[in-house]
Chains A and B, each alone.
Chain A
Amino acid sequence: MDAKYRFQHKHILGIDELSVHDINFILDSAESFKEISQRPIKKVPTLRGKTVIHLFFEPSTRTRLSFEIAAKRMSADTFNIAASTSSATKGETLIDTAKNLTSMNPDIIIIRHSSSGSPHLLAKHIKASVINAGDGTHEHPSQALLDMMTVREKKGKIEGLKIAIVGDISHSRVAHSNIIGFTKMGARVHVSGPATLIPQGIEQMGAIVCRNPAEAVKDADVVMALRIQKERQLDPLFPSLREYASFFGINRELLQSAKPDAIIMHPGPINRGVEMTHDVADGEQSVIMDQVTNGVAVRMALLYLIMGGEER
């Protein structure tokens, strides 16, 4: 690491605005934070006196819990606002929410919202740091960071690996952040899914589009399946879950063509039997639970770094 390097981001809005240095630095920090969660007393005073607000406009169990655990293990005071929906026509606008929150002097706002770009809008109107916990179909940076951490941990590196991402690339902010992130770190990201779920211009984000999952998975070091949202079949983007499972689901047979030591990932929650058979999800190659563990460490690192990373 460059001696002059300093982490300088006030907000974490997307992987797009992080450099290779930033990402390595976040992952290094996360590795050192991981140990805290294994202690009998899982608490350090690093963020004592800091106020963290979780502003979730979309339902979330694991991301919110992961952020909350991360903040609490660092002694921050955390608060949850679960707004059912935001709309310009009913209720308070996001800018009004931002102004109100600013009046209460929080240090960090963690936002999840169905509109792409809403963390950017919030960041423009608030004094606090903003972390994007998923905005529309745009980005989910902390998820990509925990995925990169998991890959680096299991494979010892990211550069040069072949990563296969299979599923709904169009609507997946996890896929978008991962394509940008892994590509930035020197991996080759191959994507596959029904053509209706591969968005225009995804190649320009660095992805290599494959005609079928077999092509994507062949010789892959990492195989990641994405959650398929059941309502998409009504859109209509694919004919049925049954057809999806048989042609785009990750199963043992498909995995034969991946590298023997390939790891299996999923951002969760899994539709077992749809995007992944359960023997694969629970098999020895699966690192899905490691992803969840690393999620807490990555989020601790993010909270720490955007607060200026004072000495620990």
Chain B
Amino acid sequence: MTSPQTLLLQNGRIIDPANNLDGPGDLLLANGVIQRRGKAGSLSCPDNGKTIDLRGKWLVPGLIDMHVHLREPGEEYKETIASGTKAAAAGGFTAVACMPNTKPVNDNQAVTSLILTRAAAAGYARVYPVGAISNGSRGTELAEYGELKKAGAVAVSDDGRPVVNSQLMRRALEYSGNHDLLAISHAEEVSLSENGVMNEGALSTRLGLRGIPSAAESIMIYRDLALAEYVNRPIHIAHISARESVDLIRRAKKKGCKVTAETAPHYFTLTEEAVGLYNTRAKMNPPLRTADDVAAIRDGLRDGTIDAIATDHAPHSVMEKDVEFDQAANGIIGLETAVPLAMALVRENVLSPVRLIELLSVNPARILGVGGGTLSEGSPADITVIDPEKIFVYTKERVVSKNSNSPFLGWELTGKAVLTLVAGKITFSEPE
């Protein structure tokens, strides 16, 4: 990492949906902010600065992953704030929102402060802590949202487990409004999903694995949409995986509900077939679904039903993954593969480049109510440079995260973040 210097990023393809821009241009960065933006070749670099030529590369507002698990405090053998944010930078992310299911749970200002202190010390990415909806995420009483907000939390969620009690969810939606915190729903009806380990259907039957019906997700989404509408509060639905979920959210948006939603790259890339013969690296919650669900998720990304792509980066060690399928932990890492997997949707004409940047930067910033998502003059120089043609094989040796529990190991991927800057400082630069 370097200190902020004056930097001229020249001749890149600037994709900045917030300013309605998509075309060649230059950016001059100084003192950690975007000082000037101009046509390609129009800006010159002062003597003390450095010029980087970005011909053929995309110059976009820093990517924001609104759903990651950094595992610290408590499970540092899986990931630390430093290793997780380093992986974020390598994947092109300048900011991440981390879920509260650490040990202890982030249901108080002490944990929130610790996360922010460690994140600042690491310096790889901005970290936005998500506090717990309920104390210990036990689903019984509300956590102290005022204290969490004061310490720096941007949202609340009991991610990893759903809020089973509808009254508590209603109260969380209401009370989070006092403190201007976004409520995020991990939508899962546990009486249907309990002990399930993959999508329910012919394949789970054939493999003899307990299934999780997609209704387990959609039923809870419906409940949370109904509650949010009733108390007139915004709600964000995390990691949607199924067609019915997309349909419900599309309908709610048409009605004018304040709902936003995210999905993860694996839900628009893989089907349940990836489980193969008990591959625990394809085990996550919600589970991989069918080709029909993948098509619906892609439609949702295209038509605006789904607002954000978030990775649900969930590192686990071999201790949790090299075991019997039904005993393996849920979750895969995702920070370093999100850009190429999302770029595939651009190549397949599912998304325009502008839409892609909305999903990965503009919308997450807006939904979380944090800065970023723009390349306007005067805004912090959080910037990602993507080489859309870069081909690489995602090998174990390449993985920056502390663990390599990814179903994409060994895949040849196209498109990669090659330069990441946070407040004008280079946090990642792809070796030549």
Contact = CB atoms under 8 A, between A and B. Distances in A.
Interface in A110-136: 113, 115-118, 120-121, 135-136
B273 interface: no
Nearest to B322: A95
11 contacts: A86-B324, A88-B324, A95-B322, A115-B327, A116-B325, A117-B324, A118-B324, A121-B278, A199-B211, A200-B204, A202-B202
Given A16-B206, A138-B207, A139-B208, A201 B201 contact: yes
Contact of B208 (A87, A121, A173): A173
Contacts, number: 82
Contacts of A203: 202
Contacts of A200: 200-202, 204-205, 211, 213
A88 B328 contact: yes
Nearest to B197: A116
A138 B323 contact: no
A281 B328 CA distance: 41
Contact of B323 (A88, A116, A173): A88
A86 B323 CA distance: 10
Contacts of B200: 200
Interface string A88-103: 1000011100000000
A146 to B, nearest CB: 19
Interface string B311-346: 000000001101111111000000000000000000
Contacts of B319: 88, 93
Interface string B196-228: 000011111111111101000000000000000
A14 B209 CA distance: 15
Contact of B324 (A94, A202, A204): A94
B121 interface: no
Given A117-B277, A121-B278, A138-B208, A201 B202 contact: yes
A63 interface: no
Given A136-B208, A136-B326, 15 more contacts: A94-B323, A94-B324, A117-B278, A117-B325, A120-B278, A121-B323, A136-B209, A138-B208, A138-B209, A176-B206, A176-B208, A199-B205, A200-B211, A201-B202, A202-B202
Interface of A: 16, 86-88, 93-95, 113, 115-118, 120-121, 135-139, 173, 176, 199-205
Nearest to A93: B323
A160 B237 CA distance: 52
B322 A93 contact: yes
A116 B328 contact: no
Contact of A201 (B203, B210, B320, B326): B203
A308 to B, nearest CB: 24
Given A86-B324, A87-B327, A88-B320, A116 B207 contact: yes
Contacts of A138: 207-209
Interface in B320-379: 320, 322-328
B211 A116 contact: no
Given A88-B320, A121-B278, A200-B211, A116 B205 contact: no
A88 B322 CA distance: 9
A204 B209 CA distance: 16
Interface in B274-295: 277-278
Interface in B156-209: 200-209
A204 B278 CA distance: 19
B198 to A, nearest CB: 10
A201 B198 CA distance: 14
A203 B205 CA distance: 10
Contacts of A117: 207-209, 277-278, 324-326
Nearest to B213: A200
